[in-house]
Amino acid sequence: MIRSTPQVPVTHSVSKLMLHVGYALIPGTAAYVWFFGIGVLVQIALACVTALVTESLVLGLRKRPLAPSLRDGSALVTAVLLALAIPSIAPWWVIVFGTAFAIVFGKQLYGGLGYNPFNPAMLGYVMLLISFPLEMTTWPAIQNGLDAITAATPFDALKTQLGQGVNIPTAIANPEIGQLFGMLAGAGWEVVSLGFLLGGLYLLVTGRIAWQIPVAMLVTLTVLSTVFNLIDPTRYADPLLHLFGGATMLGAFFIATDPVSAATTPRGRLFYGAGIAVFTFVIRSWGGYPEGLAFAVLLMNMAAPTIDHYTRPLAFGERGDKH
């Protein structure tokens, strides 16, 4: 048999990549468990089982071999990300329904891994948020005794207060609201965010994700939130809250970097990351939802092919092209 592929040991693989994404999620997830209880682990387990079962069923219907697709780990990563995105105290059927939707409508109906234009986890999340707003906005309280089971997230609390005409400094001065904010940007949440940042940096340093998306996203979000916070600190939350208070870190390193649905050119990824930051900031600051990351990701997913088209790098020798 004539082969013409390089005789070089194979080192990279999709399943290895997904495995390392899994490792990188450990610090953030551990912090999540530490502050908010083991609910999130139950969600993750439910999501994983649902993802594998759903993926198998659809592959069976599509008459495709099961093993390669199940082994690549992409369904599991989708499941874990969705489980981390929804409130850990949501009823079991929420995650089951959301994961099944993400796998079937977000991924398999487009042809499976590599063909989905949207981030499946975010598609599942947005579907759940629109369909079950109550379950999707009831967050666990930090476990510091037994006084509360649920609490608002910092962004949620701010949105409510601002909606009632209370400005940010006054709201935070109120001990009931203020206790949600912790040292940096939300008691407990800030540590979870730092955990995801740590895992994200691991992926970045080991070259498993492209640096352009998280860097562009975090820089843009910092610049935007700093500028607006300087203009009117009573109406716009400070940059630390934007960076560590919500889903920013999970989003920047684990969700926006999903290569299938992101822009693929180096320059395009800068625009893509920046675009997510802009939409996130706009929705958080002026939109109807306290957290805008999922919408921002889906909006930029739609823009990705166009971004790629206009950001193709010049080929070697193209500058003097005599074509």
Partner 1 sequence: MMQTIRNIFHFHGGLQLDEHKSISTSKPIQDAPIPSMLVLPLLQHIGQPARPIVNVGDKVLKGQVIAEADGRVSAPVHASSSGTVIAIEPRDVPHASGLKGVCIVIETDGHDNAIATNGLTDFTTVSPDDIRARILESGIVGLGGAGFPSFIKLDPGKFAVETLILNAAECEPYITCDDMLMRERAEDVINGARIMQYALHAKHCIIGIEDNKIDAHAALQQALAGSDDIELVRVPSRYPAGGEKQMIYTLTGKQVPSHTRPLELGIICHNVGTAAAVFRAIMQGEPLVSRTVTLTGSAIPQPRNIQVRIGTPITELLSLCHANEDDIDRIMIGGPMMGFDLPSSDAPVTKTCNCVLATHKRDRIAPQASMPCIRCGECANVCPANLLPQQLYWHARAQEFDHIQDYHLFDCIECGCCDVVCPSHIPLVQFFRFAKTTIWQQERDKEKSDKARVRHEFRLERLEREKQEKRERHNRKKAALKKDSEKGDDPKKAAILAAMKRVQDKKSTAQPKPKNMDNLTAEQQELIKQADKRRADNQTAEKTETDKSS
Which of 55, 190, 291, 308 forms a contact with partner 1 (CB under 8 A)? Answer: 308
How far apart CA 300 and CA 117 sit, in angstroms, is: 10
User: Per rule CB under 8 A, is residue 63 in the interface with partner 1?
Assistant: no
d(CA 212, CA 268): 9
- Length, in residues, of the chain: 323
Q: How far is the CB of 289 from partner 1 (least distance, A)?
A: 29
CA distance 291 to 297: 12
Among 87, 98, 112, 120, binds partner 1 (CB under 8 A): 112
Least distance CB 67 / partner 1 (angstroms): 10
Q: Among 68, 133, 178, 233, which residue interacts with partner 1 (rule: CB under 8 A)?
A: 68
**Which one among 60, 91, 114, 178 touches partner 1, defined by CB under 8 A?**
114
Does the protein bind partner 1 through residue 66 (CB under 8 A)?
no
Contact between 165 and partner 1 per CB under 8 A = no
Q: Hey, which residues between 271 and 300 contact partner 1 (CB under 8 A)?
A: none
* CA dist., res. 271 & res. 77, Å (int): 25
- Near partner 1 by CB under 8 A, which window of 112-120, 198-206, 215-223, 234-242? 112-120
Stretch that binds partner 1, among 95-103, 120-128, 231-239, 256-264 (CB under 8 A): 256-264
Which 3 state secondary structure label does DSSP give 140? strand
Supply 49's token pair.
């089982």
Q: Is 319 one of the binding residues for partner 1 (CB under 8 A)?
A: yes
| Closest approach of partner 1 to the CB of residue 180, in Å | 38
Q: According to CB under 8 A, which one of 77, 127, 192, 260 is a site residue for partner 1? A: 260
Enter the DSSP assignment of 151. Answer: E
Residue 318 interacts with partner 1 (CB under 8 A): yes or no: yes
Region from 50-58, 93-101, 153-161, 308-316 binding partner 1, contact rule CB under 8 A: 308-316
Whole-angstrom Cα distance, residue 225 to residue 205?
A: 26
Q: Tell the smallest beta-carbon distance from residue 304 to partner 1 (Å).
A: 9
Site for partner 1 in 181-220 (CB under 8 A): 210
Phi, psi of 145 (to 5 degrees): 130, -150
**DSSP class per residue in 213-274:** HHHHHHHHHHHHHHHHHHH-TTTS--HHHHHHSSSHHHIIIIITT-TTTS--SHHHHHHHHH
Complex with partner 1: residue 63 or 319, whichever CB lies closer: 319
H-state helical runs in the chain: 14-24, 26-36, 39-61, 66-71, 74-85, 92-106, 120-131, 133-137, 154-163, 168-173, 175-178, 189-205, 212-231, 239-244, 248-250, 266-286, 293-310
CB of 119 to partner 1, least distance (A): 12
* Contact set with partner 1 (CB under 8 A): 1-10, 12-14, 16-17, 68, 72, 74, 112-115, 210, 259-260, 262, 264-266, 269, 308, 312-323
